[in-house]
C-alpha cells in the first residue's frame, strides 16, 4: 500500500486526526494498521463508525454552541474593563516616550516651497 492511498483514506476519515491531536495514536500506527489490514477491516471500528459519525457531527455542533454560550456567560466584564484600561495606559506611556507618535519624531509637516521668480513680471 502506498502513502498516497493512505492519505486518501485519511481524507475520507478525518476523525483519525482527532486521535493524533489528542496523543492517543500516531500517524505511524495508523499507517501500519492500514498497511496490514487495509481499509475494510474490523480494526477501524475502534476509531470510527460511519452511522454514528453523522449523528456525532450534529450533536458536536450543538455542544459547541452551548459551550460558546457558557464561555460568554462566564466572562468577567470587570476584568475585561481593567485589562483594556491597562492597555490604554501602556499605549499612552509609549506615546509619551515617543515610540508610537509621529509628532514627537523628527518628521516635520509638509510645507510648500516658495516660488522663486527669476523674472519679475
pLDDT at 1: 63
State mean pLDDT over 105-109: 71
For the stretch 45-104, pLDDT in tens is 888 755 444 455 556 667 778 888 888 888 888 888 999 999 999 998 888 887 655 555
Q: Which residues lie closer than 8 Å to 69 by C-beta, 6 or more apart?
A: none
Residues 105 and 98: beta-carbon distance below 8 Å: yes
- 109-115 mean pLDDT: 80
**10-19, 61-70, 84-93, 109-118: which is most confident:** 84-93
What's the pLDDT score for residue 53? 46
Q: Are 98 and 104 in contact (CB under 8 A)?
A: yes
pTM of the shown model:
0.39
Amino acid at each position: 500500500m502506498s502513502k498516497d492511498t493512505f492519505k486518501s483514506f485519511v481524507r475520507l476519515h478525518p476523525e483519525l486526526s482527532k486521535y493524533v491531536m489528542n496523543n492517543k495514536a500516531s500517524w505511524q500506527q495508523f499507517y501500519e494498521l492500514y498497511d496490514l489490514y487495509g481499509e475494510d477491516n474490523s480494526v477501524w471500528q475502534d476509531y470510527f463508525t460511519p452511522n454514528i459519525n453523522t449523528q456525532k457531527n450534529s450533536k458536536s455542533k450543538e455542544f459547541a454552541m452551548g459551550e460558546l454560550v457558557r464561555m460568554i456567560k462566564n466572562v468577567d466584564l470587570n476584568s475585561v474593563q481593567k485589562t483594556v484600561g491597562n492597555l490604554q495606559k501602556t499605549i499612552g506611556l509609549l506615546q509619551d516616550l515617543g515610540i508610537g507618535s509621529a509628532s514627537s519624531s523628527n518628521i516635520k509637516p509638509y510645507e510648500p516651497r516658495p516660488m522663486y521668480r527669476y523674472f519679475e513680471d
